[in-house]
Structure formats: C-alpha cells, structure tokens
Amino acid sequence: MAGGKGKRMGGKIYDKLLHPLHETTSFRLCCEAYLKAREIEDFVIVHRDEEQKLLLKNEFSVACAKSDRKTEPAYVIGGLRRMDSVRNGLTALSENCQFVQVHDCARPMIRTSTISKLAQEVARVQAVAVARPVRDTVRLSSERKLMSGLPQKTFTMDRSKMWFMETPQAIRKDWLIDGINLAVKKKIEATDEVFVVELLGKKTVFYNPEYPNPKITTMEDYKYLNFLLNS
C-alpha cells in the first residue's frame, strides 16, 4: 500500500514513503524485506498517480538489486478509501492466489522474519495480523470530539482486552473480497483488513513481533525511525 496522501505531513514533503530515511526510503525498506521472503510469490503495489508510479518503479528496481531477486510487480491505482485501494489491488492477483498480505509502506521497520512467519501462520489459521497489546491506561471520553483543556466525563477502558493494530495483515483472499463487498453494501468504511474479517464473523490471530514497527505519520516520526535504524 503506497497510495496514501499523507495529509498529516502538512505539505512539508512530497511523499513520506519516498522521503530520505537513513540513506534509503520507507518504501524501499519495505520492498527489500518482502523480496527476501521466499514465501511471497507475487507483488502488487497500489500507487497514487502516474508520477508517483515512476518513482516507485525505480525504488523497487533498486530493492530487487539489493535483495538479489528479480520480479516484476503489478501496479494498480488506489481508490478514495483504504478498502477501495485494497480491493483494487486484489483485482491484480491471479485466481490461484489463496492468501494475501497487506502492508502499509509507511511502516519501514517490518522484518522478513515477520513476513515469513505470517505467511506460514495464515495457511493454518486463515487470518493473522501484526498487533501488540495496549500497555497504557486508556480512557473513553463522553464528548463527541477529543478536546483538551476542558473538563469532560471519561470512562476507563479495560486495556487487558485491547490491541494496537499494525501491518502486515495476512488473510484469505476470498475473505478479504467478501468482507470488503459487505462493507460497501452496508456503507461502512473499513479501517484495516481485520475489520472486514470481523464483519464476516470470522476470527483473527494477533502476532506481536516484539520489536518496534512504527508508522510514519508526522515529520517527528523520521527522527525516531532514524534512531532505530542507527541502532
């Protein structure tokens, strides 16, 4: 998934996935991790526009050279929402494809070992996603919008049952297709792939990688990622 607009960057950079990061880019790091995973047979890159597509193609070629693997991905234009982009990407896969991993290329710390683990697990459990348990106290505000500096009634949530969701998320392809179609029919926006699995009444296994897998959302995130990569 590389077609996001990165609105929370405030227009400070052209593309958060192609912005310099430790002598590489977020997109290239993700590609290298996936290219080294021999369990992954086909690649689909969901992009924003033709200009970005050309840049992504160049980055993918560099990643192939560094990973010592030659393959040609399919390039598909994204949609208005995440689930639209995922559905567009699914159309580029062969009918023989049984399982799909969806990864947000704004998470450059993903490791090949995790990708391989998910590929093995999804064949056994049908749906598995990278996630980690919530360790902080979480409160729900009774206000309709988050507001700071004003008194508000809150409720403490049971964090023992909460997980922070990340990517990759590996799921049966037919479940993804059926779940997205159901979300469209019900006029519900799916925020990730596990959401559509829930809509179908199916269960998902959560896998904690036990290492940082942060997402680039603001410019401050580059400082943290550069620190991690330097470490």
Name the domain count of the chain: 1
Q: Does 211 score more than 70 pLDDT?
A: yes
Q: How many residues does the chain have?
A: 231
Residue 63 falls within a domain, yes or no?
yes
Whether the CB-CB separation of 165 and 132 falls below 8 Å is answered with: no
Residue 151 falls within a domain, yes or no?
no
**How does pLDDT run across 134-189, given as a tens digit for each residue?**
999 999 888 877 777 778 888 999 999 999 999 999 999 999 999 999 999 999 99
**Half-sphere exposure of residue 93, counting CA atoms within 13 Å on the CB side?**
25
Tokens of 66: 């560094």
Tokens of 77: 């234009």
Q: Please report, as a single letter, which amino acid is at residue 199.
A: L
Residue 219, SS3 per DSSP: coil
Strands 163-172 and 74-77: unpaired
CA distance 30 to 33: 5
Residue 53 falls within a domain, yes or no?
yes
Residue 140 falls within a domain, yes or no?
no
Which CATH number goes with the domain that contains 102?
3.90.550.10
Token pair 């391989």: residue? 116
Q: Residue 84 is part of which domain span?
A: 7-132+161-230
Residue 13 falls within a domain, yes or no?
yes
Neighbours of 185 (CB within 10 A): 9
* pTM of this structure: 0.93
**How does pLDDT run across 53-111, given as a tens digit for each residue?**
999 999 999 999 999 999 999 999 999 999 999 999 999 999 999 999 999 999 999 99
